[in-house]
A and B are shown apart, each in its own frame.
Chain A
Amino acid sequence: MKLPRFSSRPFSVSSPGFIAALQDYTLFALDILKNLKSVMKNREETIKEMFVIGTKALLMVITGGLFAGIILAIESGHSLEMFGATTLIGRTVSLGMIRELGPVITGLLLASRTGAKNTSELGAMQLSEQIDAIQAFGLSPIRKLVVPRVIAALVMFLPLTLIADVSGMLGGIFITNQTFHVDFAYLLNSVVTVLKMKDLLVGFLKPVFFGFFISSISCYYGLSTRGGTTNLGKNAISSVVMSSLAVLGLDLIFTKVIWEVL
C-alpha cells in the first residue's frame, strides 16, 4: 500500500519508527523543494502568510531580541569589568547578537509561533477532510498549502532576525551606557566596526535555514495529524519541540562548520 507521504507516521523521537518517520520527512522536504516553483501560482496565499508571519511576530521578536541583548550586555559586562575591559561590551553584544542570539532567539520564538500555527491549521484541515477535498479535486496540498508557508518563512525570517539583532544591540548599548558608563558614541561605533563579512554571512544564512526547517517540520506534523483533536494537540507540541531542536541543532552545525571552514 502506498499512502501519501505526509499521511504516514508522526515524526517523534519516542517513536520506535523514528528512522522511518525521518525518511518520510526527508521525502516530504524533497517534495517541497521540487514544488517551490509553484509559488508564483499561489502568490496570494504566500503574501498572506508573509503578512501573518511578519506582522504578528514583530512585537514578540523585538521584545525577545531586546531582552537577549540586555542580558548579554549585563552578563558580559560584569565579567569584563573585573579586567577593566568594559569597552569590549559593545563588541561582545554585537557579535553575540548577530552570530548567535539574534538568529537563535528569533528561530525559537518563530518555532513556537509559526510552528504551532502551521501544525494546528493544517492539522485541523486534515481532520475536517479539507486536505482530502483538495486532493480529491486534483490539487496538491503541498503546492497549495505547504509551499506558500515555506516561502513565507524563508522570506520573512531574515528581516525578523535583523530586527531582533538591532533591537538587542540597541538594548545592549543602552544598558552598557547606563550601567557601565561606557560612552554611547563609542559603543555605537564598536558594535558596527567589529562586524566582518563572515559574521554577517553566518547571521544572515541561519534564519533562512531555520525558516525552511521550522516551516517544513510544522507542516509535516500538521498533515500527519490523524484521529482527533487529542492527536492534533500532541502534534502541535511535537512540532514545536522538533522545530526548536532543529534550530539548536542547525545552530550547532553552523557554528562548528563556520569556525572550521571560514
Chain B
Amino acid sequence: MIQLQHISLALTGRQILQDISLDIYDDTISVILGPSGVGKSTILKIILGLLKVDSGKVIIDGRDLTYADTDDALDLRRKIAMVFQGNALFDSLTVEQNTAYFLKESEAYSPEEISRRVNDALAFVNLSGTEDLYPEQLSGGMKKRLAIARAVVVEPRIILFDEPTTGLDPINAKVVLGLIKNLKSKGTTSVIVTHIINDAIAVGDVLTVLNEGSVVSSGSSGEVLRSNNPFIKEFLYEIYDDSLFINNKELLRQ
C-alpha cells in the first residue's frame, strides 16, 4: 500500500502540491485525474523517489521513505516500475534490448531467464516478432506497448502510468487500457495519471481528482461523477462534448 500523507512540494518557486493525502491500495487501479499542470506526474515522481517533498510523508508498505536516499530506496524501486508519458525508450537499442535493459543491469538473472522474461513480456503486449526493430521504426501505439513491456518484464508489484493513452488513437488507447486491466488480473497494482475522463472511468477502481495541487474529490468513479464540487462538474462535463456528456449521464443512472 502506498500512502501519501499531507505532502507539499514547490518547484522553482511555484507551489506544485499543497497538502495532498492519498491512499493507494494493493491490487487496484488508482487513477489520478486532473487538468494539465496540476502536479499529477509530480506525484508519480515522488512515489518513485525521484523528487523529495518539502513536507509530509511517503509511506510504502508501512515504511517511511520520505527522505530515503537513493540506496535506501533501491529495494523499493525494484518493486515499482513506471511507464513514462513519452515512453523514455532508448533510441540506440532494439525492442529486445530495450525490454531486457534493466534485467541485464541488475545482474541478478541468467541469460536464459532474461530471454524467457523478455519473450513473455513482448508476447503480453503483442510485440512478438519485433525484437530486432528500433523504437524509431515503431508506431506510437507500439512504442507505448514496448514501454509497458519494459515495465512488466521486471515483474513489479506496482506500475505507475503517466498519461498512458495521451497521443494514441482510440484503438491503440483501448489496447493499452486493456493491458492495464490484464495486469490487474495478474495481481499488479496500477497507478495512472491522466486528464482523460473516459480512460479513468474505463479502468479506475479509485479516482482521485486534483486541481491546483490539491485533492478535490476521491472515490469510485460513480462517487466522483456524482460530486457537487463545481470544479469537478466543470472538468467532467463542460470540457467534453455532448456525446460524452450523455455517456456519463447514462453511467450515473447505472
Contact = CB atoms under 8 A, between A and B. Distances in A.
Contacts of A138: 73-74, 77-78, 106
A81 B54 CA distance: 71
B81 interface: yes
A82 interface: no
Contacts of A257: none
Contacts of B97: none
Interface stretch (B84-92, B119-127, B201-209): B84-92
A33 B225 CA distance: 54
Interface string A1-26: 11110000000000000000000000
A4 B48 CA distance: 13
Contact of B51 (A3, A128, A130, A137): A3
B50 interface: yes
A137 B84 contact: no
B90 A130 contact: yes
B88 A2 contact: no
A34 to B, nearest CB: 12
Contact of A130 (B67, B88, B106): B88
A75 interface: no
Contacts, number: 53
Interface in B16-61: 45, 48, 50-54
Contact of A129 (B11, B51, B70, B88): B88
B54 A1 contact: yes
Given A130-B90, A132-B45, A139-B105, A1 B84 contact: no
Contact of A2 (B52, B84, B90): B52
A56 B36 CA distance: 43
Interface in B57-82: 67, 70, 73-74, 77-78, 80-82
B82 to A, nearest CB: 5
Contact of B81 (A1, A129, A136, A140): A136
B102 interface: yes
Nearest to A226: B12
Contact of B102 (A1, A132, A139): A139
A135 interface: yes
A52 interface: no
A230 B78 CA distance: 34
A133 B74 contact: no
A136 B9 contact: no
Interface in A118-134: 128-130, 132-133
Interface string B108-131: 000000000000000000000000
Interface in A88-131: 128-130
Contacts of B73: 138
Contact of A4 (B50, B86, B102): B50
19 contacts: A1-B9, A1-B11, A1-B52, A2-B52, A2-B67, A128-B88, A129-B86, A129-B87, A129-B88, A130-B90, A132-B45, A132-B88, A133-B82, A133-B84, A136-B50, A136-B80, A137-B77, A138-B74, A138-B78
In the A-B complex, the 4 residue pairs with the closest CB atoms: A133-B88, A129-B88, A138-B77, A2-B52
Interface of A: 1-4, 128-130, 132-133, 135-140, 144
Interface of B: 9-11, 45, 48, 50-54, 67, 70, 73-74, 77-78, 80-82, 84-90, 102, 105-106, 154
Given A137-B102, A138-B78, 4 more contacts: A133-B88, A135-B70, A138-B74, A139-B102
